[in-house]
Amino acid sequence: DREMEGEGEGEKTESNEAGGGSGGGGKKRKRARGKSGKAGDGNGARGPPNPEPGEEGYMTKTQLRNARKRRRAKREIAGAAEKKKGDDDDGGGGNADPSPDKNKGKRKSGRPDDDDPSARYLSAPLRAPAVRSAARYLSDALSSGKTFETHVGRRRGWRTVSKLPVRPSSGGGESKGAAGEATVGMFRPNTHDVVPLSDGRGGCPAHHPSIDAAVSAVQRSCRALSVSPYDETTGEGCLRYVCVNVERRTGNVQLTLVWNSDGDREGEKAEALRRLSDRLIKMGTAAKAPGAGADTGIEGKPAKKRRRGKRPTSHSSSSPFALHSLWVHYNASWRHSNAIFDFCPSTHGSGSWKLLHGPPAILESLDLTPPPPAGDDGAPPQLRPVKLRFPPNVFRQANLDAFAGIVLSIRRYLARYAAERTGEGGEGDAGVESRGPSCVELYGGVGTIGLNVLDLVSSLVSSDENPHNRRCFEESAEELLRPANGGGGGNGGDNDNDNDNDNLNENIGGTHIPKARYIPRNAADMVVKENILSDDDGPGRDAPEVLIVDPPRKGLDDEVIRALITDDDGDDGGGGGSRQRRRRDPRPDLLVYVSCGFKAFVRDCDRLLESGLWEIDEAEGHVLFPGSDAIETLAFFRRRRRK
């Protein structure tokens, strides 16, 4: 999973308070040039002389200056990490927020910072170390005149995906349960000690209220039915994790019970699962019965009247537990394994996932309406909303509301890129150019980004290694590209919407080519075995002009980086050119990089820029998880033109 389990980590635009503007950087560069003859001034006064042009290792003054900036940013990142260690002792204030804590010594509402890292920077998300480091690094790396902005949004109730451990209660105190009873909560940082959510302090502030309602229902049911929680020391017990996905439109939950068993067999564990699932289905469907709603008790019965003057909180236990669907995932992996889901086909095959109740997937659409005023450079309106499919065994962004802002920025940039590209094409290329750029998406998931830009590209090839993604992608694509009246021949010649339906397929050289297709492979195989970034003699297999990547925290696979820094002569400057297929055309021309791990992004960005083949045209930050020390980085890299 791309998110740290058990931590809340999530939207709207604010100007960057972390020094992200480029003006300050320009002043610093002027001062540096004025200190001629001193170490680090770019003139090589101390240290080895700069090689002459044409010699190995030669760098222009601009390249030397950029290299110094990247080294400085790396030092600052490392320093911030060291300072952060000290923050853990005082609740996370430290150097990120030097202002004194006015509430020091007072009992705070909500969960304490040492128990819930998602709340550490909740009062000032832009002061989180990762956010400030990103602002400094990318302000220096951006093209002249470009600025780096960070977007932050709603700070509470944004998380609609949560995977929570179930462990034995220690008895008494905050757990409010007898010793050994099931307790659902979050792991305390750097431990496997569970901090209960239902400890009377309002739950996690990041959680959608439906998550807290589901957790309460599961925990009470386990205790009422004596369902044993998983014990890490012995490997015994039934329920390992509870995974909750919220359908944003209704607030209904897709609930997955991670069961410590190797399959649906008879026995005590099977009977315990049957009793627990029956009870949860009854509770979850009662809350959706006519008359049940926000003022309904957890099991669908009318809630007691509140006393006058007492206001419900956003995380009130009176939020209904309404079930969208109930799944069980069998995971009897080794007790020292930290994997929540067992995707190993040799363990269970396809039988490790079982739908017990309800529809197989949550349907979600992103709100991609440009904020007013859109202006001439605003994102074009989407032809038709994409209905994304999310069963529990695929990756889904925990904050889809905020992630829509990233997709909207990508649409805005792609629209400008397509207009640029059309203007550059000659008369003979006009027909080809008007089709839009070809696009490949690596680490694509169910197509959350790719399908939402499908109307802006001529073709899309998406891929991911999770085998469960393919069906979700193909069903969403088929629905998106189906004619509006459900037939195969469009809506008739007088209907302008027929042009939208022309996006279904391409006909290139008399060959029928699908507009969107999915390849269930990991990114490294796509580059090395599928040659997806290379030219091909077959129709519809030209090298893509646009590459979209949204890797996990570890960043891009080395094979992907090597392909991107290998020029059309097969030389990557690092001895790896012999492994890459020689390309006739240096493509892709545009790299759209969405990163959820900033340290890995810095590593990848340095390699791309140092190759001399790429430059960052635009970049922006999105704090998808307000309160935690994390930032989602969106960067648009353009391939340098040969002179």
The answer to whether 44 touches 50, Cβ cutoff 8 Å, is yes
Q: Which two tokens stand for residue 500?
A: 């939208």
Task: Tell the residue number behind the tokens 């959350």, with chain if given.
Answer: 448
Q: CB under 8 Å to 256, separation ≥6 — which residues?
A: 242, 243, 244, 245, 326, 327, 328, 329, 392
Query: Which regions of 158-281 does DSSP assign to beta strands (E)?
Result: 161-168, 182-187, 194-196, 239-246, 253-259
Annotated catalytic residue, options 238, 472, 596, 605 = 596
- CA nearest 138: which of 478, 473, 601? 601
Query: HSE of 67 in the Cβ direction (CA atoms, 13 Å)?
Result: 14
Report helix angle 209-225 to 268-286, nearest 10: 140
Catalytic residue status for 596: yes
Q: CB under 8 Å to 440, separation ≥6 — which residues?
A: 460, 461, 462, 463, 526, 532, 533, 544, 546, 547, 548, 588
Helices (H), 46-175: 61-87, 129-141
The answer to whether 590 touches 545, Cβ cutoff 8 Å, is yes
Helices (H), 109-229: 129-141, 209-225
List the binding residues for S-adenosyl-L-methionine: 397, 443, 464, 550
Q: Which two tokens stand for residue 283?
A: 């509770």
Look at residue 97 and give its three-state secondary structure: coil
Q: CB under 8 Å to 255, separation ≥6 — which residues?
A: 214, 218, 242, 243, 244, 280, 284, 323, 324, 325, 326, 327
List the binding residues: 397, 443, 464, 550
Task: Tell the residue number behind the tokens 């956003």, with chain if given.
Answer: 314
The answer to whether 356 touches 328, Cβ cutoff 8 Å, is yes
The answer to whether 254 touches 247, Cβ cutoff 8 Å, is yes
Burial class (CB in 10 A: 0-12, 13-18, 19+), 74: middle
Give the span between the Cα atoms of 292 and 286, in whole angstroms: 8
Give the span between the Cα atoms of 92 and 464, in whole angstroms: 36
Helices (H), 160-255: 209-225
Q: CB under 8 Å to 245, separation ≥6 — which residues?
A: 160, 161, 253, 254, 256, 362, 390, 392, 396
- Would you please indicate which residues are annotated as catalytic (active-site) residues? 596
